[in-house]
Structure 1
Amino acid sequence: MRLTYLLVFLLLIKQSFGQSSIKEYILKNAKTITSIYPNDTNFTDLEILRKTIGTKRIVMLGELYHGDGTSVQAKTRLIKFLHERMGFNVLVFESDFFSLNDGWKVYEDGGISLDSLIYLSIYPLWTQCSQFQWLTSYVNQSKAEQKLVLSGMDFRGYTGYSIRYLYKAIDSFLRLENIPFVKNEKAYSDYCSLLKQAPALVEGKSKTDMNKLLNYTNNILAQLQLLEIKDSFYIKVLQGQVQLFKMAKYYRYDSSYILTKKNYPLHDFQMAENLKWLVRSKYTNEKIIVWAHNTHIAKGTAINANGIDYNSMGYYFTQDTSLLNQTYIIGFTSFSGKGRLILGNVSPEIVTKPDKNSIENWMHSSGIAYNFVDFSNLNNSNIKSEPFYIKTYINTEKKLDWCKYYDGVFFIDKMRPCESVNNK
């Protein structure tokens, strides 16, 4: 019996000395990023990405806060590297799916300027951030033979472009398909009238009309499915409309959100479906960058600003093994600083102090302003992946096995808030 205890004791000692901690792995493998300045084209420090990303064709770039000006600058420099050195040529925003995809074609045909398209289609969270102007300038300057194409995957709300053109585009598509619903003049006329009012309806103007518009759209989709045009851009647009109208009912009419603070469950699902369509149908042979918040790109259950868990876009997207194997996801985080949403008169929000057992605290202890650590090689080390703290939002953190959620993390020691373009 004593011999058995002794053997167990020796085995435990061997394991404790033979296996390092996740903290040790992170500190040992963190690579210094020398600059986040968008015009710094000495990409020597970013060459680590070439090795870690390899042949993957989808790279997702997160952010801790939509008002994180430092992340905006850092991501712009990463995008330039991915575009110029690794051949990534499509940039998909967490912004209007219809506007950016329809609008890009109009732009290419000379029907709208690039500046107008960006202003009317990408959410003002970014376009009104002065640090974002580095990226818009770069897209403008990218040469025709190596153009950086803009796209979108979100379906929420109505951008300026959608308000101007979505109704006419849907009407033209439906008349061309000539489904039975279009031939019912009274019902179709009522649908068109409600569709014109949709921007106001999703903000809470009329529950009765919102329900009618949702029912009409479901009926239209059911008839379109019989035509077997599942890959159509407008199928995705109309599916997004259904989810938007359901979200309006949830957030504006049914008071469920006020009671639970839970995010609408199918928002991220539909963004994943839209991204899948872009990857598999529209940009089949292109290398794609995705710009979105950390909570959307994580590969597992995410946590929103209210501390409520939900399945993320990245989770739904990577449930398909073929897409998982093509995707590299980078979360962004900060130790301290502030962020500021450029939406009206909003005061900067402070990055709360992280837990002592957090990646932010470990990275901060190195005294380096910007770091990047790759998790994808963890399985080849003698270290077992284990839970640790990381920020999921500017003032929220959670202890999870984050190596299963992100393939890598970009660390910014001090976040600086977005500055309004109007103050420049």
Structure 2
Amino acid sequence: MFYRKNNISSEIDWLKGHTYRIQLHEFDDDSDLYFLKPLLQNKRIVFLGENGHGVAEHSQIKTKMIKYLHKELGFRVLAFESSFNDCSLCFYQQDQLDARQWMKHSLFKVWHTEEVEMLFHYAKETQLSNHPLILTGLDIQPASSDHITGKFLVKVFSNMDKTFGEKIAALEQEMFYQYANSRNPSISKKERKRKCKEWMTLYQEFLFLLDKNSLELQNKLGKDAFLLVNRILQNRMSLMQMISSHFVKAIKIRNKAMADNISWLAQEMFPNEKIIVWAHNGHIMKQSGRLLGFPSTFSYLPPKIKEFSYTISFFMYSGQAAENNRSVYEVRQPGQDSIEFRIKQAGHEIGFFDISQQRKVPQNRWLFQHTYTMHEGKQLNLIKPSACYDGLVVCSKTSSPNYINLD
């Protein structure tokens, strides 16, 4: 027993020497994030996770980190786990929107919060500088209730021919109906699959039309806008494939499509920019098969992108969080063998711990073994931290977001 107590004491002392404090009450002072510079200055993509979408502190910490990465390390592109299409188009229209409207039309409702709105105010401020923060997305699912992407496509193809505009308007209307009713049991799976296959063919026809008129459209729209239209249509095809598939296959299609969007952003749209990705821990996990039962978004990325990436997962030890439907729940406190309990022993309300540069010693062997963690503060899971993430953030106590009703 004496040996075990002595071992725990040694582990805690080691953690205190390797865990950094993040302070939220000093939100506008980012000097406490100095430890990020040597870890991230040579990285191309930084992935910021969250242990559930309804955690106020996670959004606050990530906003603080994003500001630091943007100002100090030259990261200019922020890609949300939200609609690639709507986020990308909203950025080009943001001069006509205030921060709240920009957030509303870009992001899923789970992020319509006061905490995330602070990020959009910051992004607004940067647009007047020589170093604006560019907001885009990853997901193939639509976010805007104002059908921003559909209106854009109608405008593009109507300029080619009025009939093309009418045809894609009808196609977008059908797509939204099928998406909204994708889990409606009254619609037969066979019929949905048939319709989605038909609409994929129609979206493919518009891709052929783009290719056929590429020179004319690039001159009219500009190269970036032309590339964006092409990517939007490919995302629509992936969405059709997703909503016509069973649950697990649909998740795989979505994760693969989000990875393809990250690759496209890094290689095609912003080949010379550093990128920040905001997504759930499950999406940014480097090895996920045994835990999730299917590959994560990160798993699908090409090796050359993985090599220059750094993934930071976020966890919570106690407090409250919210479901995607905004209902609040109590976080279950994990036991002494968990990631959360261990990092908490360093004595910080919010602690950051780097895994990527650690070598196995008796005090940190848990990093290289299967260790308990509480998925979304509700469900006990086993992960091997060193195989899944590069860094960890643990909040001793969390709260649910301050939601904004934007309907």
After TM superposition, the structure 1 = structure 2 runs for residues 12-411 of structure 1, keeping only pairs within 5 Å, are: 27=15, 29-37=17-25, 39-41=27-29, 43-107=30-94, 110-127=95-112, 129-142=113-126, 143-161=128-146, 163=147, 165-171=148-154, 173=156, 192-204=169-181, 207=192, 209-221=195-207, 232-250=227-245, 256-257=246-247, 264-301=251-288, 308-317=292-301, 320-341=302-323, 343=325, 346-379=326-359, 385-411=368-394
How far 1:113 sits from its partner (Å)? 4.3
Whether contact under 8 Å (1:30, 1:371) holds in the other structure is no
**Cα pair 1:340 1:349 within 8 Å, conserved:** yes
Partners of 1:84 and 1:55 lie apart in 2 by 15
Say if 1:25 and 1:328 are closer, same or farther in 2 by CA, change over 3 A. farther
CA drift at 1:69: 0.4
Matches of 1:139 and 1:191, distance apart in 2: 32
Q: CA deviation at 1:362?
A: 1.1
- C-alpha RMSD of the superposition: 3.5
Deviations 1:75-104 (A, max 9, x none): 111112112222212211111111121221
1:91 maps to a residue whose letter is L
Structure 2: state its 5+ residue gaps: 1-6, 216-225
Q: Structure 1 residues 158, 133: closer, same or farther in 2, change over 3 A?
A: closer
SS at match of 2:375: strand
In structure 1, the residue corresponding to 2:75 is in which secondary structure?
coil
Unaligned runs of 5+ in 1: 1-18, 251-255
Secondary structure of the corresponding residue to residue 73 of structure 1: helix
The Cα offsets for residues 291-323 of structure 1, whole Å up to 9 and x where unpaired, read as: 1111111112168xxx74221111112xx2221
Q: Partner residue of 2:220? A: none
Q: TM-score, normalised by structure 2?
A: 0.81
Deviation digits for residues 231-258 of structure 1, max 9, x if unmatched? 93233212211221222223xxxxx43x
- Deviation, 1:342, is 6.5
Shift of 1:378: 1.9
SS at match of 2:396: strand
For 2:119, give the aligned amino acid.
L
* Alpha-carbon separation, structure 2, partners of 1:106 and 1:295: 31
Corresponding residue SS for 1:138:
helix
Distance of 2:79 and 2:26 partners within structure 1? 19
Aligned mates of 1:158, 1:330 — CA distance in 2 = 25
CA contact (8 A) 2:50 2:279 kept: yes
Residue identity opposite 2:311 in structure 1: I
What fraction of aligned residue pairs are identical, expressed as a percent? 24
Is the contact between residue 29 and residue 373 of structure 1 (CA under 8 Å) also seen in structure 2?
Answer: no
2:255 touches 2:297 (CA, 8 Å); kept in 1? yes
Asked if the contact 1:56–1:326 (Cα under 8 Å) also holds between the matched residues in 2, the reply is: yes
